[in-house]
Amino acid sequence: MTEIEKTLDNKSIRPTAMRILIYKFMAGKKTAVALTDIENAFEKAERTTLYRTLKTFEEKGIAHQIDDGTNISKFALCQPGCNCEIDQDLHLHFHCSQCDKTICLTEHKIPHINLPSGYIAEDVNLVIKGICDSCSEH
């Protein structure tokens, strides 16, 4: 049993060939991926399978969904410090308007916000748009 298979198994996700491939693909990326990204990377793969795989990953808590403002859902594997499903200790995301990549800034936590009375926060999403480090070099 490989490391990836163990990871999936721990979260009771059956480690099928497809899922392992997708996991590897996501792990190799520094950026969040959209459904289309994976679809293009694996020409043989069915969109539905990818769609449901990502949903599964998210539901089981090994990946989180990111809305970067492009109206395209992106996904990223949870890093060791990522407690996205447990508490509000959420990191923020950066979307580069030049290379169109979305990056998890895992060490940057979202500061606590005081809401007006009556409002109950369940999830916080903070996306900063701008130019990423590799694009700003040029």
Partner DNA sequence: GGAATAGTGCAACAGAAGTGCATTTAATGC
Partner DNA sequence: GCATTAAATGCACTTCTGTTGCACTATTCC
Contact positions vs a second copy (CB under 8 A): 67, 69, 71-73, 92, 94, 97, 105, 108, 110-111, 113-134, 136-137
Q: Which of DNA, a second copy, none does residue 49 bind (CB under 5 to 8 Å by kind)?
A: DNA
Residue 25 engages DNA in binding (rule: CB under 7 A):
no
What three-state secondary structure class fits 63?
strand
Token pair of 21 as six digits: 């491939």
**Long-range contacts from 33-37, C-beta under 8 angstroms, 24+ separation:** 33/74, 33/75, 33/76, 34/72, 34/73, 34/74, 34/75, 35/73, 36/72
Q: Which of a second copy, DNA, none does residue 131 bind (CB under 5 to 8 Å by kind)?
A: a second copy
Residue 86 engages DNA in binding (rule: CB under 7 A):
no
Return all residues near 39 (Cβ < 8 A) that are at least 6 apart. 45, 47, 50
Q: Residue 82 or 92: which CB sits closer to a second copy?
A: 92
Q: Which of a second copy, DNA, none does residue 119 bind (CB under 5 to 8 Å by kind)?
A: a second copy
Among 56, 100, 108, 109, contact with DNA (rule: CB under 7 A): 56
The Cα 112–Cα 7 span in angstroms is 31
Residues that bind DNA in the complex, under the rule CB under 7 A: 13-14, 16-19, 34-36, 44-49, 51-53, 56, 71-73
